[in-house]
Amino acid sequence: MGYIQRLPFILTSSVTIIIGLVCYVSGASTRDTFIKMIISLTVFYIIGLIVRNLILEIKKQVDEKIEQEKLESQKKAEEELGKSESTTDNETDKLTDSKFNKKANDADEFTPLNASKVIKNAYLKTE
């Protein structure tokens, strides 16, 4: 992502260096070389800005599309889960009602575990 942000500078500097080298090798005057380099700086900086904005816009659109696809897949999963839950809710209600009635009767007959007595006695001995 950092290279995309620096794209105008990278494009401008690389093209300007190439233009400067070509002018130097060809033996152009210094004034003409500087004028060509200034023109290339401004033109390719603007081109770099346009390309950077296009790339960022494309990335934004791709991210939005991926987000929409995720939301759609979540909605589909929730709908399928809702359909499967509605069919199993009636069955689970029947099972839980019968289990609840059994547990209600068992609650009256609660007895503590023997382990609690052992722990209690060991704690009292240490004091």
Q: What is the pLDDT of residues 57-106, one digit of tens each?
A: 999 999 999 999 999 988 888 888 777 666 555 555 555 555 555 555 55
Tell me which residue of 37, 49, 65 sits closest to 9, measured CA to CA.
Answer: 49
Count CA atoms closer than 13 A to 124's CA, side-chain side.
6
CA 18 to CA 37: how far, in whole Å? 9
Structure confidence at residue 53 as a pLDDT band (50, 70, 90) = very high
Q: How far is CA 53 from CA 30, 36, 40, 99, in A?
A: 34, 26, 20, 64
Answer for the pair 33, 24: CB distance below 8 angstroms, yes or no: yes
pLDDT at residue 47, rounded to an integer: 94
DSSP category for residue 27: T
pTM for the model stands at 0.55
In sequence order, the 6+-apart residues with CB closer than 8 A to the CB of 117 are none
Structure confidence at residue 107 as a pLDDT band (50, 70, 90) = low
pLDDT at residue 5, rounded to an integer: 85
Across 6-14, average pLDDT: 91
